[in-house]
Amino acid sequence: MAERTEDCGGRAAHTDPMEVDTPENAPLPEEVRKKPVAQKSPAEWAYERLILYIQNFEARLDGDQEVAMGFTDTGAGVLRIEGIGYFDPDIVTFYGSDQTGARTQLVQHVSQLNVMLRAVPKPTPDAEPRRIGFRLAEALDDG
C-alpha cells in the first residue's frame, strides 16, 4: 500500500490493493498548497479538488475514451466535460456538450455538488482523445 504523507488532502480505501494512487492519498500539488484552505472560498476549494479527480480519472482511460459527467438526480443524461470554472464564493460550473453534441452548462452551488465521472467513447473514433485534466492543471498554475 502507498505511504500516506502528511500533505495529503484526505484518505481513501479501495477493494483493489493496486488502486492506491487516488487524489486523496497523494500529496497535494504545490499550486494547491500555496494558499491555505482557510483562505479559499468553498467554490475555489471544490474547483481545485475536482481538477485533481478529473486528472486522476483521465489517467486511467484508454485512447478511445474521454471524461464525462453523469447526472445522478435528473434525467439530463451525460455532459462531456470541456471546461470547469467557479464563481466565488459558492458556485461551480461545468461546460461541455451532451450525447447529441448540444452545448451544455451546469451551474451548481457547492452545497449541492454531486459529480459522477464517466468514461464515454470519443465522438469521432479516429480523433485523438481530448484530455482536459492537463489544461485544468495549467489553470491551477495560473491561479
- Residue 59 falls within a domain, yes or no? yes
Phi-psi group of 101: left, alpha or beta (phi > 0 → left; psi -120 to 50 → alpha; rest → beta): left
C-alpha cell at 13: 480505501
Lowest-confidence region among 20-24, 30-34, 52-56: 20-24
- Residue 14 falls within a domain, yes or no? no
How confident is the model over 111-125, as a mean pLDDT?
88
- Residue 40 falls within a domain, yes or no? yes
Q: What is the pLDDT of residues 70-88, one digit of tens each?
A: 876 666 678 899 999 999 9
Domain assignment of residue 127, given as a range: 30-142
- Residue 8 falls within a domain, yes or no? no
Helix, strand, coil percentages for the chain (3-state, nearest 5): 25, 25, 50
- Residue 13 falls within a domain, yes or no? no
- Residue 11 falls within a domain, yes or no? no
Rounded distance between C-alpha atoms, residue 13 and residue 10, angstroms: 11
What does 80-91 look like in DSSP terms, one character per residue? EEEEEEEETTTE
The whole-model pTM stands at: 0.81
Residue 14: per-residue pLDDT: 74
Based on the structure, what is the number of domains in the chain?
1
pLDDT at 4 over 90: no
Rounded distance between C-alpha atoms, residue 116 and residue 128, angstroms: 23
- Residue 138 falls within a domain, yes or no? yes
- Residue 25 falls within a domain, yes or no? no
